[in-house]
Amino acid sequence: MNEDRDRIFLEHILDSIRAISEFSINLTEEELNTNRMKQNAIVREIEIIGEAIKNISQTLKEKHPEIPWRKITGTRDKIVHHYFGMNLEIVWNIIINGIPLLEKQIESVIQNSNTL
């Protein structure tokens, strides 16, 4: 396991989470559905999160089964490979439910660096 490499990818995840939070301040579901710039910005950060997770060591993932690593990368793949538009209902659910929880989980992993 490469602890430094894992830490770098965890920091990338946290940066993307914070960007999504910033992009979605005062955002309504209706605005998400009509604002293509917000859609693209948020989806891009979700892509980055998914790619970063794919690069985290299996050892770290096994130490933190409370984080749904596979589900996150699977969701990323669904969004990225949905060629004829985005499923904005999934994106909205990620913004409202997934991002706040994932932020806490990733911060906890980073803060407890002895678990890396």
What tens-digit pLDDT sequence spans the chain (116 residues)?
A: 488 999 999 999 999 999 999 999 999 999 999 999 999 999 999 999 999 999 999 999 999 999 999 999 888 777 766 656 678 888 999 999 999 999 999 999 999 876 55
Q: Which residues of 5-35 are buried (b: 16+ CB within 10 A; e: fewer)?
A: ebbebbebbbebbebbeebbeebeeeebeee
Using CA atoms, how far apart are residues 94 and 21, in angstroms rounded to an integer?
Answer: 11
Show the tokens assigned to 59.
């050892």
Give domain status of residue 103, yes or no. Answer: yes
Give domain status of residue 88, yes or no. Answer: yes
- Residues marked active site are found at 76, 81
Give domain status of residue 96, yes or no. Answer: yes
Structural domain range at position 39 = 3-110
Give domain status of residue 116, yes or no. Answer: no
- If one counts the domains in the chain, the total is 1
Give domain status of residue 115, yes or no. Answer: no
The pTM of this model reads 0.89
Helices (H), the chain: 3-23, 29-34, 36-54, 58-63, 69-80, 88-93, 99-111
Give domain status of residue 80, yes or no. Answer: yes
Give domain status of residue 16, yes or no. Answer: yes
Using CA atoms, how far apart are residues 74 and 81, in angstroms rounded to an integer?
Answer: 10
